[in-house]
Amino acid sequence: MEGVYRRLSRFYRPYLRLLYVSLGLLVLTTALQLAYPYLLKMIVNRVVIGHHFQALLPLSAAILLASMVKGVFNFSQAYLAQVFGSKTAFDLRNALYKKLNHQPFSYYDNVHTGDLMSRMTADLDAFRMFFAFGINNLMSLGLTVVLGISMMLTMNWILALVLTALMPILAVTAIRFDRQLHPVFQAVRRTLGNLNSGVQENLMGMRTVKSFAKESFEIDKFNERNDAYYGANMQATKLWRKFFPFIELVGNIGVVLILMVGGWLVMSSHMNLGDLVAFLSVVWYMIWPMSQLGFFLNNWTQATAAGERLLEILEYPDDLDASDEQISQSVQGKVEFRNVGVKMGDKWVLSDINFTAEPGQTIALLGLTGAGKTTLTSLIARFRDATEGEVLIDGIPIRSWNRHALRSQVGVAFQDPFLFSTTIFANIAYGRPHAKVEDVRRAAAIADAAEFIDELPEGYMTLVGERGMGLSGGQKQRVALARAILLNPSILILDDATSAVDMETEYEIQQALQKVMAGRTTFIIAHRISSLKRADQILVLDGGRIVERGTHEELLASHGLYRHIFDMQFQDFASMNDSGETAQTGTEGHIG
């Protein structure tokens, strides 16, 4: 467990000086805190009993002064600790963000956004809190106990021993409490998580819920989870009701014991009354911090668990080999695959892939869901590495290219067009934030997005993304395409990037792209034959292998899988003719 703090030490080590100063001030604060009972004892003994009234004023002034100085020290130690915690959290949050920004693509195949969010927020905060006041709390508790007991020893060792006898009871109770509370808190967090995800799912699927008139079913499901969360909270309450009053009782019994034994000592003239009063004050001061022991320990346990979850992000290995990344020159566009295979888990998703794409060519990939098309293109921008074989860009092994230099010259338009919460302009300019306005407009025009953007009331200033204007699927795809075009890439990858666009628009986009991409390389993934029939080379994938290759005409003639897919798409063509029409269409023809 300590390994967690060692492995995260680079984040807090630069600021340790803050912590040391803070802890120094904390020692002074605690010492001054104990001055109060001491001064009280002086007043009772010398002024009240001893009738030295001239000592009253300086002693009262001393109480005030001590309290003021203590206030300043206390503020400073608490604030410095907060600064220490905040600076550590600041660096840690930046580092986590950076790491997430460079995490390999495969990382995002397996994580849930919600889980990462809770690590970046709740866990980070639990970790921060330990640094911002947890350490000081533990230190303060230790100091109070040590100083208190030593003061008591100087006052009266018999009474001190009586009280020390109660310490083990408190310590054992606190530790047991912490141990029992841990699983209960886990249950609270788990049931809350269930409740969250249940409500979230219900809201996302609201149309389906309403369509089937299943509101009461959903309410039952919700009630179950709501009740479970209530139950977990009540479990925690049951522990609290058991432990907190007990710790309080032990402290109170301490007071009574001191009163009894001390009373006897005073009566038998082994102690004077003022000492007893002062002793009682010291006991009062120790009771509260002692009762917090369980909380403080809990704070530490949680920080350790949180730190572990943060380390899982920070120490996630890079699955790309970075040892030879030296080439950053401009890419010409030649792409070569030599016996490439990719294994995920125990399954080969690509095997034995060989092809060469020359600059200026358009390569199309066709295949059923799961055939390996997206995996193949992800190797070109080096989103992942091949398990075997070699990918070469301009004849240079891809592992020798600086990955950022390479990626900034490869434009990818993804299947799911993700737009960020900002203006349409900034979304198109995502890869080139300082692009000229004319360039952005030109990219939009090529992607056939310029027209609809200009028709929006706010034009390029229109806010899109989660909370912005709802664009249709086809519109989003065209904005994402413009984003890829603006990069002016040497290699352009369209991963099913125009599937929601109607055929007419798609044709126009392809015509415009052909001009822009002259002398450069384009990869197209699509299901519609019409989208890829004009490619220079069509690769048909099945089960991770290239089963056919050639031009549209060649493949039609070979009567293989391509021909089969073509026939399936065009089987309606004949029946259309039967109904007396001269036009032809594919079954996937989209109207409207």
Partner 1 sequence: MSVNAKEQVRSEASNREELLRAPFIYRDDEALEKSFQFTLMKRLASYMRPYPGLMAAAFCATLGNLAVTLIAPYLVGRTIDTAIAHHRVHALLAYGAILIGLYLLNFAASSFRIYLTNQLGQRVIQGLRRELFVHVQGLSSDFFDARPAGSILVRILNDVNSLQDLFTNGVINSITNLFTLIGIIAIMFSLNWQLSIVTLVVVPFMFMLSLRLTIQIRRAWQQVRLRLSRINAHLAEGIQGMRVTESYVRQDENQMFFEKMNRDYMATFLRAQRWSIPFGPLVDLTGALGSALLFWYGVHLLHNGVVTVGLLVAFANYLGNFWTPIGQLGQVYNQILVAMASSERIFQYLDTQANVVDRDDAIALPPIKGKVEFRSVGFSYEEGRRALSDVSFEALPGQTVALVGHTGAGKSTVINLLARFYDPTEGSILVDGKDIAKVSLDSLRSQIGIVLQDTFIFSGTIMDNIRYGNPAASDEEVKAAARAVYAHEFIENLPEGYHTEVRERGSRLSQGQRQLISFARAILADPRILILDEATASIDTYTEHLIQKGLNVLLEGRTAFVVAHRLSTIRDAHQILVFDGGRIVERGTHAQLMAHGGYYYDLVAAQYKFLA
Give the integer Cα–Cα distance in Å for 564 and 542: 13
Give the integer Cα–Cα distance in Å for 584 and 572: 8
Q: Out of 224, 227, 318, 319, which residue is the one contacting partner 1 (CB under 8 A)?
A: 227
Q: Out of 2, 6, 54, 64, which residue is the one contacting partner 1 (CB under 8 A)?
A: 64
**Using CB under 8 A as the criterion, what x/- string covers residues 119-138 for binding partner 1?**
-xx-----------------
Alpha-carbon Rg of the chain, whole angstroms?
A: 36
Question: Which CB atom, from 11 or from 354, has the smaller least distance to partner 1?
Answer: 11
Candidates 144-152, 293-301, 351-359, 580-588: pick the segment binding partner 1 (CB under 8 A): 580-588
Query: Residue 353, interface with partner 1 (CB under 8 A)?
Result: no
| Residues 407-446 contacting partner 1, CB under 8 A | 407-408, 410, 412, 414-415, 418, 420-423, 425-426, 429-431, 433
Sign of CA dihedral 397, 398, 400, 405: positive
Q: Could you tell me how far CA 185 lies from the centroid of its own chain?
A: 21
CB of 211: closest distance to partner 1 in angstroms? 4
Neighbouring CB atoms inside 10 A of 210's CB total 11
328 φ/ψ angles, rounded to the nearest 5 degrees? -130, 20
Candidates 155-163, 205-213, 318-326, 354-362: pick the segment binding partner 1 (CB under 8 A): 205-213
CB of 367: closest distance to partner 1 in angstroms? 8
The vertex-161 CA angle with 159 and 166, nearest 5°, equals 105
Strands 362-366 and 545-550, sheet pairing: unpaired
Candidates 4-12, 177-185, 214-222, 546-554: pick the segment binding partner 1 (CB under 8 A): 214-222
Cβ–Cβ under 8 Å, residues 471 and 479: yes
Question: Which CB atom, from 179 or from 242, has the smaller least distance to partner 1?
Answer: 242
Neighbouring CB atoms inside 10 A of 424's CB total 28
Give the integer Cα–Cα distance in Å for 279 and 259: 10
Question: Which CB atom, from 251 or from 307, has the smaller least distance to partner 1?
Answer: 251
Q: Out of 19, 34, 47, 293, which residue is the one contacting partner 1 (CB under 8 A)?
A: 47
CB of 363: closest distance to partner 1 in angstroms? 18
- List the structure tokens of 91: 């660096």
Query: Residue 165, interface with partner 1 (CB under 8 A)?
Result: no
Question: Which CB atom, from 201 or from 390, has the smaller least distance to partner 1?
Answer: 201
Query: Residue 577, interface with partner 1 (CB under 8 A)?
Result: no
CB of 398: closest distance to partner 1 in angstroms? 15
Q: What does the DSSP 8-state code read for residue 536? A: S
Question: Which CB atom, from 16 or from 253, has the smaller least distance to partner 1?
Answer: 253
Closest CA relative to residue 84, chosen from 143, 24, 21, 29: 21
- List the structure tokens of 315: 């120490």
| Residues 235-294 contacting partner 1, CB under 8 A | 237-238, 240-242, 244-246, 248-249, 252-253, 255-256, 259-260, 262-264, 266-267, 273, 276-277, 280, 284
Query: Residue 16, interface with partner 1 (CB under 8 A)?
Result: no
CB of 414: closest distance to partner 1 in angstroms? 7
| Residues 522-561 contacting partner 1, CB under 8 A | 526-527, 530
Candidates 156-164, 176-184, 233-241, 312-320: pick the segment binding partner 1 (CB under 8 A): 233-241
Question: Which CB atom, from 131 or from 460, has the smaller least distance to partner 1?
Answer: 460
**Using CB under 8 A as the criterion, what x/- string covers residues 477-506 for binding partner 1?**
------x---x--------x--xx-xxx-x
Question: Which CB atom, from 208 or from 356, has the smaller least distance to partner 1?
Answer: 208
509 φ/ψ angles, rounded to the nearest 5 degrees? -60, -45
First to last CA, the chain: 61
Give the integer Cα–Cα distance in Å for 486 and 432: 7
Q: Out of 1, 20, 157, 215, which residue is the one contacting partner 1 (CB under 8 A)?
A: 215
Q: Which residues contact 496 (CB under 8 A, 6 or more apart)?
A: 415, 525, 526, 527
Give the integer Cα–Cα distance in Å for 163 and 167: 7
Q: CA distances (Å), 420 to each of 22, 192, 288, 427, in order?
A: 43, 29, 51, 6
- List the structure tokens of 56: 């009253």
3-class secondary structure for 119-142? HHHHHHHHHHHHHHHHHHHHHHHH
CB of 395: closest distance to partner 1 in angstroms? 23
Question: Which CB atom, from 16 or from 117, has the smaller least distance to partner 1?
Answer: 117
Give the integer Cα–Cα distance in Å for 553 and 534: 10
Question: Which CB atom, from 237 or from 339, has the smaller least distance to partner 1?
Answer: 237
